[in-house]
Structure formats: structure tokens, C-alpha cells
Structure 1
Amino acid sequence: MLKVQELRELIKLVDQSSIDEFTYETNGTTVSMKKSGVQQEVKTVEQHAAQVEQPTAPVVKEETKAPVAEAPKESKNEEPAAESSADFDHEIVSPMVGTLYTAPNPESDPYVQKGSKVEKDSVVCIVEAMKLFNEIEAEVSGEITEILVEDGELVEYGQPLFRVKTK
């Protein structure tokens, strides 16, 4: 069964894309999404429900109003970022979904802190995805002006992690 976070991610991806209908099947679970105006309809069907003669009876139907309501919240969160644009020139974003670690191990100091100077090849954090630890590099030279995530936090693809004032 898909986790709630995975479902939210799928809803967000479908919402941002130009597709109107999406079906995903894995491990006996089927998730179907269909855009209808502003709202999306999500149906989850277990494998045993698909084997019943009348498949419409056991279908669990959820109206997903929360993700639609979350979209304006995200745009509100972007407004303060635009206001503080004088503090940074570049955002280091997560290249993948995973767990972020600010240090190579729990006993070590963090790779960077607010005010740290970084080069293009400086490692700023690690994102663990599927038991693989991926070092994330700054990609620009400058100074870390803001750290937007905490150690051990789950991050999403494209999520801003650090703000950098370039040289």
C-alpha cells in the first residue's frame, strides 16, 4: 500500500502536469486520479476488491480537497522568499526525494552553517535515498545565508535546501 506522503507526491505531480487522468498499480494496489476542474478524484482499490463481481461496491472513494487547499499555502510560502531575495542569489535544491543529513555522521560537525563559505564543489549535505547516500554540492561559490531544512528531515525533489549569496 502506498504511504500518505507518496500519495501526496503523486497528486502534486499529476496536478502540476498537463495529464488529465492517471492510473498507478503496484503490489495489488491501484490508484487512479482524474482531474475534474479544480478538484482531483482519487480512488484506491485493493486487489481482492478487483476480483469481486461488482467492483464499484468495494471501491474506497476519497475526495482530496486537502491537496487542492495546500496549493495556495505553498504559493503563500513563496511570497516571503521573494521578499528576502536580497539575502541570496541562488538556492541549492534537492535533486531527489530522501532524508537529508547535514553531517557525514552523527558525531561530526555539519558540512555547512549559516555564514559558511562554499565553492562549486563543496559538499553541503547528504540526501539518503533507498539506502544510498548522495553528496549534494553547492554548484556555486559564495556564502550560505540561510539553511531551510533540519538534519534528518524528509526532502522532496526540487525543494530548496540552502540559500547562497554568490561572490
Structure 2
Amino acid sequence: MSNDSKDGKLHDGDVAFIQSLAELLNASDLAELSVKREYGEHDRLTVSLSKQGKQVAMQAMMPAPAHPAPAPSAHAASPAATAPAAPASEDPADLPGVVTSPMVGTAYLAAEPGSAPFVQIGQSIEEGDTLLIVEAMKTMNHIPAPRSGTVKRILVDDGSPVEFGAPLMVVE
């Protein structure tokens, strides 16, 4: 790893941030993750992670940030909010009534950490009801139910990254 900081040292906050990013990448369907922050001429952080099989390759230039790197927010999913695991041969995107993500971002099942989820499995909903939020570029986008029905499955965990077209829920 190369370093562009004035003191040339790797800081604990940077290491923890990179480890958190690597864990996020391993726990998601994402193939690549890149973060770049610049605070000044000699004060920047560039992290690029990519999946290669089960290995995660890390390449980083570690600075001495003027501001400590924020820790990724942890949103615990309620056990009642997630569906039982589907059989391995069943592709959730092929299920009837699947609701897909209209954008790349982070899915949140509740309005804020610790509050009740927007919907639960077995709940009857009306067209237009908020199913969840996808945060993209610091904007919270409410994802409405495309039809009235019953929530049959929730296919994402609270706080998990989603890609465009990724299946989020099944509403029948």
C-alpha cells in the first residue's frame, strides 16, 4: 500500500474503514467497490476493492485524514423482517410479484434505526404504500408498492447494498 500523507503512517481509523468496506463487499452481491476522499493536497484516501472468487483484493493510498473516517452505519435487521431462505435453485428475480430496485444504493427496511419496519411478511398493503427506502447519494428514495397485495417475502437485509434491478420484495 502506498501512502500520500505527510507523516506516511497508516492510521487505525483508515484500517478499520477499509476492513469494514471489505466485509461489506464480501457480504454483498457487489463485484467492486471504490471510495475516494480528498481533504487537501497531501490529505486523501483512495480505496478500491474488487471480488475475485472468494478473495478480496485491496489497493489503497492511505493518508492522514484531517477528519477521521466515519464508520459505516450499522442497521440491524429484525428477524421478523426477513424471509426464510429460498431454495438455492429458485431465482428471486423470476418470482411473480417481485419488486426490484430502481437504482443502486443502500436498502433500509425502516425509516430510522430502531424504528418499526415499513412492512412485514404477511402484511396486506395498498398500491403506493412505502415498502422500504433506497438511499442513493445521500437521498432517501421511498420505494412504493407497485400493486396492492400481501408481502410474501423480503429479499434484502436492512442496510444492505442493492444494485439496479435487484429483487427487493415479493408482493402478491
Return the TM-score normalized by structure 1: 0.50
Q: Which has the higher helix share?
A: 1
Which of 1 and 2 has higher RCO (CA within 8 Å, sep 6+)?
2
